[in-house]
Amino acid sequence: MRSLIILGLLTVAGDSRALKIDLLSLDIAKKDLGSQGWKGGDTSKAHTLIQEDGLVMIRSRYEPPKSADAIYHAVEWNVEDFPWFKWKWRVRKFPKNANIMDSNRSDAAAQIYILWGGMGRKGYVVKYFWSTTDSVGQELKQSRFLAGSLWGIVLEKMGTVGEWKTETRNVLQDFEKAFGQKPPGKVYAVGLLSDGDATLTESEADYASFEALTSRDEAIPVTTSLTDPLNPVMVPRK
């Protein structure tokens, strides 16, 4: 799996539509997520790669009494150029009586992390939740999160098990709202987690189709040409 490098042209000749790039490509031929650059949690059991009806996805699950560990993939994502983030997720099992605002019950069936900083710099995390009991739009802020300052928002609450939801967020706006400043450089990693270790109940969700976009409008896919790493050019994907 490649890291995303976004440094080049933001238009494709003859087409004024928005552009999009596969942020985290998934290769079903490589069953082990660890071999595709994912790090952190157990990529052999707790986080696995599957395919269903042609859609390749990551299945993340928690089974008590283990600890829940997120997995992360390194990227180089300039949200100034590609501020929109789009993905699909569905919950297969909700942790019981979970509430992210209560430290004793702070589980969520599906979570996406976006991380800035690292390498000795102050870290910032924007996090999106699919919750059991928290209301949609509810926000969480922590100044002493493991990776730095964290801001999160609930995008979905409960709902039908197994139903896919598509989310589209302006990550740049979310960061500025959360921390009152511009992002400190590029996003260096994206992570995900299905969590149940606070309530000690099972949790499971699927994640797929991760895209970075220039606009929320209809977008055309592009790839990056890295023959000149200092000046990559955006070209239409065949």
Question: Tokens in use for 195?
Answer: 């969590």
CATH number of 132's domain: 2.60.120.260
* 132 is a domain residue: yes
pLDDT score, position 104: 93
Express each pLDDT in 53-81 by its tens digit: 999 999 999 999 888 889 999 999 999 99
The one-character DSSP state at 108 is -
Q: State how far the Cα of 172 lies from the Cα of 126, in Å rounded to an integer.
A: 10
> β-strands 165-170, 84-93: how paired?
antiparallel
Express each pLDDT in 127-179 by its tens digit: 999 999 999 999 999 876 666 789 999 999 998 999 999 999 999 999 999 99
Q: State how far the Cα of 187 lies from the Cα of 185, in Å rounded to an integer.
A: 7
* 3 is a domain residue: no
Q: State how far the Cα of 60 lies from the Cα of 109, in Å rounded to an integer.
A: 9
* 12 is a domain residue: no
Residue 59 near residue 71 (C-beta atoms within 8 A)? no
* 101 is a domain residue: yes
pLDDT score, position 29: 77
* 2 is a domain residue: no
Q: The domain containing residue 41 runs over which residues? A: 18-236
* 53 is a domain residue: yes
Residue 167 near residue 84 (C-beta atoms within 8 A)? no
Q: Cα separations (Å) of 38 from 98, 158, 185?
A: 27, 27, 22
Residue 129 near residue 111 (C-beta atoms within 8 A)? yes
* 25 is a domain residue: yes
How many domains are contained in the chain? 1
For the beta carbon of residue 21, count every other beta carbon within 10 angstroms. 22
Backbone angles phi, psi at 171, to 5 degrees: -65, -35
Q: Which residues pair with 214 in a beta bridge?
A: none
* 190 is a domain residue: yes
pTM, to two decimals: 0.83
Q: Helix, strand or coil for residue 36?
A: helix
